[in-house]
Structure 1
């Protein structure tokens, strides 16, 4: 086969892309972003979960405990 024949045959082929092929990428991306959002959401308020434990540790060590900005009184 010559190069001209290969190019002619390649040009003659029609390639149809179905709707699901295009939508499939969007669905996969959506699932990945939702999963990453759930992981991010699960780390919400982690710093305050053990605030009493952290304060007790700081008091035992003689460190000054700052409570500003985290809802402590």
Structure 2
């Protein structure tokens, strides 16, 4: 005696699934993600040591 779920799974009325291929090679997604990471790292690197730089006071006269 089969259960109704097993008999449903073996039924031929369920259509076969179609394969969907990716638009690019699977390694291209990793390469794109790595390039984005490097671009964001370059932006971060361009702002290094900006918080610690004091403003220049040259040319300003101080009256006492």
> What is the TM-score when the length of structure 2 is the normalising length?
0.50
Could you say which structure has the larger radius of gyration?
2
> What is the TM-score when the length of structure 1 is the normalising length?
0.45
Q: Which has the higher contact order (CA 8 A, sep 6+)?
A: 1
